[in-house]
């Protein structure tokens, strides 16, 4: 797929999400940032995992704080901000849970939480980043 010229189809997004190796939640290995980096890498062929590395909850929150927040951290990882489409990383803000990252799919956002993969309504999206440039 020519990532800079086309956008992911719903089927390719579903495939990328299903290729995620399900395992117990663990900061730096199996958390929301690792999940979106995996899916983005599968869809584009670009290794986004190298941009988001840490090994503990404290390190993760330290990186977020050092960047001035979750949104600013993701701005440093993903180039193109815009209305999220299927397969694009999204920052969501959920009641009680707070901010986390997910992948847009239809009218939902797929996220990994401490309870596993979950889908939330896309009304919780605060911001999205387009993996592929909009033509």
How many domains are there within the chain? Answer: 1
**Nearest Cα to 111, choosing from 3, 8, 126, 63?**
126
Residue 101 makes CB contacts below 8 A (sequence gap 6+) with 32, 33, 35, 36, 70, 74, 89, 90, 91, 92, 111
Domain for residue 29, yes or no?
yes
pLDDT confidence of 7, banded at 50, 70, 90? low
Domain for residue 39, yes or no?
yes
CATH of the domain at 111: 3.90.1720.10
More confident residue, 114 or 91: 91
**Reading across the β-sheet that carries 108-113, which strands appear in turn?**
80-81, 125-130, 89-94, 98-105, 108-113, 116-121
Q: What is the dihedral of CA 66, 86, 121, 37, to 10 degrees?
A: -30
pLDDT confidence of 81, banded at 50, 70, 90? confident
Domain for residue 73, yes or no?
yes
pLDDT one-digit tens code per residue, 48-61: 989 889 999 999 99
Domain for residue 49, yes or no?
yes
Predicted TM-score (pTM) above 0.95: no
Domain for residue 2, yes or no?
no
**Which residue segment(s) compose the domain that 86 sits in?**
10-130
Q: What whole-number percentage of the chain has pLDDT above 70?
A: 93
Indicate whether 1 pLDDT > 70. Answer: no
User: What's the whole-number mean pLDDT along residues 111-117?
Assistant: 91
Average pLDDT, the chain: 89
User: What's the whole-number mean pLDDT along residues 24-51?
Assistant: 93
Can you give the pLDDT at residue 133?
56
Domain for residue 101, yes or no?
yes
């Amino acid at each position: 797929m020519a990532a800079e010229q086309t956008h992911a189809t719903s089927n390719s997004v579903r495939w990328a999400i299903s290729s995620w190796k399900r395992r117990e939640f663990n900061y730096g290995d199996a958390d929301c940032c690792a999940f979106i980096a995996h899916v983005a890498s599968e869809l584009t062929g670009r290794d986004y995992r190298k941009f988001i590395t840490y090994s503990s909850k404290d390190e993760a929150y330290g990186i977020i704080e050092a960047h001035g927040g979750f949104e600013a951290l993701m701005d440093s990882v993903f180039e193109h901000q815009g209305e999220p489409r299927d397969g694009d990383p999204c920052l969501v803000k959920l009641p009680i849970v707070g901010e986390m990252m997910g992948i847009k799919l239809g009218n939902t956002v797929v996220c990994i939480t401490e309870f596993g993969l979950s889908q939330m309504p896309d009304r919780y999206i605060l911001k999205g980043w387009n993996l592929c440039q909009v033509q």
